[in-house]
Homo-oligomer: A and B are copies of this chain.
Amino acid sequence: MTEYNTRQREALLRFFENNGDRHFTAAQIENELAMMGEKLGKATVYRRLDRLVEEGMVRRFVADDGKVCCYQYAGGESCKNHFHLKCTKCGDLLHVECDYLDEMQHHIFEHHGFTVETEKITICGVCEKCKS
């Protein structure tokens, strides 16, 4: 059960480390890597992704439409404070850093005895661009 150090594994790791602020679908990862000259087979992407999630290096969550899995680097603590604002018009998923999240979480716990899983919050609405 030793972990081999392959080109594909390295490519994925480097990709996540350099994009800790964004999240991607498996297909996006495959494409972006291909454009950087690192071609990996679909199966390999999925298999490695599964493993990275198990190891806790990467976090998996589901887009609001429930159709695709998204992956995001979680190696650092960078991912603690963010909203997901999903525009129901254009489909954009805005990724917003904001301290207000803590406040909200705190309120809900204090007043409603509910422990919010901050990383899973997705708020639907209409973004600025689409407001015309």
Residues of A within 8 A of B (CB): 60-62, 66, 69, 83, 85, 87-88, 94, 96, 98, 100, 104, 107-108, 111-117, 120-128, 131
Contact = CB atoms under 8 A, between A and B. Distances in A.
26 contacts: A60-B66, A83-B112, A85-B112, A85-B114, A88-B117, A88-B120, A94-B112, A94-B114, A98-B112, A100-B104, A100-B111, A108-B123, A108-B125, A113-B127, A113-B128, A114-B127, A115-B125, A115-B127, A115-B131, A116-B123, A117-B124, A117-B126, A120-B124, A121-B123, A121-B124, A122-B122
Contacts of A69: 66
Contacts of A128: 113-114
| Oligomer copy total | 2
Contacts of A66: 60-62, 69
Q: Which 10 A-B pairs have the closest CB atoms?
A: A113-B128, A120-B124, A116-B125, A66-B69, A62-B62, A62-B66, A115-B126, A117-B125, A115-B125, A85-B114
Contacts of A113: 127-128
A60 to B, nearest CB: 6
Contacts of A98: 111-112
